Amino acid sequence: MKKFAVLLILCFSIVGFSQQKSAEQLEREARENVRDGNKLYNQLKFSEAEVAYKKALSKNPNYPKASYNLGNAVYQQQRSKEAISQFELVEKTFTEKQAKAEAYHNMGNSFMNEKQYDKAVQSYKNSLKNNPSDDETRYNLALAKQKLKEQQDQQKKNDQNKDNKDNKDNKDKKDDKNQKDKDGGDKDKDKKDDKKDEKDKGKDKQDDKGDPKKPKDDEKKDEQKQQPRPNQLTPEQMKQMLEAMNNEENKTQKKLNAQKAKGKKIKQEKDW
């Protein structure tokens, strides 16, 4: 029994030692993967570096450097949204202020790429809280504030243009309605005028169909006009009278011409 107990204790010790050695082996392999990833990253092979960092995290999930470097590799591949999530995870696992500052700084850069300038401003502020002497972060903060102001000004301008457009559309609708009402009123007026004209035409037709004796009366009046009035000269008498007047006028003209021939010549004024 004593030998059996000793052997059992020995077996558990060997198993425990093997497990401990396996964890150390995985951590060592994780560090090797990170070093390989860094070499690839420096060669600008960001996608291959990403694979190496993920291998390291699969062997040691609580490896802050592997998480941080993975975020950088993803960021370099223009996948800013994934990078933001990765840096947020890193910020929670890092305990050193310098490491936190770098995570917040890169997070701010990712927000800038997404044009989320308000979140970028906050990220840079958090970075400066952990490392107030970082001039690069301070410059990025100023740039993010400027971009945020421009974005807000543009949004205000867009809102104002939208309001003006809405007001214009409402005014156009109101003008169209007023025009339709006016056109409707004109049409009603035209209809009334047309009815009035038709009524007047009907009245004229009734007048034309008036007393049938009227044309006969007009004919009688015309006949009376054509008949010579009492004491009126006949055409033959009028002809004789005209001839007599012409003869008299000729005699008078001859006398005047004779008198002019004896006198001074009359100068004729030009008709300008």
Give CA–CA dist 110/125, Å, rounded.
14
pLDDT band at 185 (very low <50, low <70, confident <90, very high): low
Q: Does residue 107 contact residue 87 with C-beta atoms inside 8 Å?
A: yes
Sequence-distant contacts of 89-98: CB under 8 A, at least 24 apart: 90/64, 93/62, 93/64, 93/67, 94/64, 94/68, 97/130, 97/131, 98/130, 98/131
Arithmetic mean of pLDDT, 209-234: 46
Assess whether pLDDT exceeds 70 at residue 227.
Answer: no
- How close are the terminal C-alpha atoms of the chain, in Å? 165
Q: Does residue 106 contact residue 75 with C-beta atoms inside 8 Å?
A: yes
Residues 6+ apart with CB under 8 A from 231: none
Give CA–CA dist 193/188, Å, rounded.
9
- Give the DSSP letter string of 244-271: HHHHHHHHHHHHHHHHHHHSPPPPPPP-
Walk me through the domains of the chain, giving residue ranges and CATH numbers. Answer: 21-77 (1.25.40), 82-165 (1.25.40)
Q: Rounded to the nearest 10 degrees, how much is the dihedral formed by the CA atoms of 74, 77, 82, 84?
A: 80
Assess whether pLDDT exceeds 50 at residue 181.
Answer: yes
Which residue is it, tokens 């100023």? 142
What pLDDT score was predicted for residue 167?
A: 80
| Highest mean pLDDT pick, 13-17, 203-207, 235-239 | 235-239
Q: Does residue 39 contact residue 71 with C-beta atoms inside 8 Å?
A: no
What pLDDT score was predicted for residue 196?
A: 66
Cα separations in angstroms, 169 against 155, 161, 173 = 21, 12, 6
Gyration radius of the chain's alpha carbons? 59
pLDDT digits (tens, 9 = 90+) for 17-48: 445 558 899 999 999 999 999 999 999 999 99
Alpha helices in 80-134 (DSSP H): 80-93, 97-113, 117-130
Range scoring the smallest mean pLDDT among 136-145, 242-251, 255-264: 255-264
Structure tokens at 120: 């970028």
Cα separations in angstroms, 251 against 121, 151, 241 = 126, 113, 16
Assess whether pLDDT exceeds 80 at residue 195.
Answer: no
Q: Rounded to the nearest 10 degrees, how much is the dihedral formed by the CA atoms of 201, 203, 206, 211?
A: -130
How many beta carbons lie within 10 A of that of residue 125, not counting itself?
Answer: 14
Q: Does residue 56 contact residue 66 with C-beta atoms inside 8 Å?
A: yes
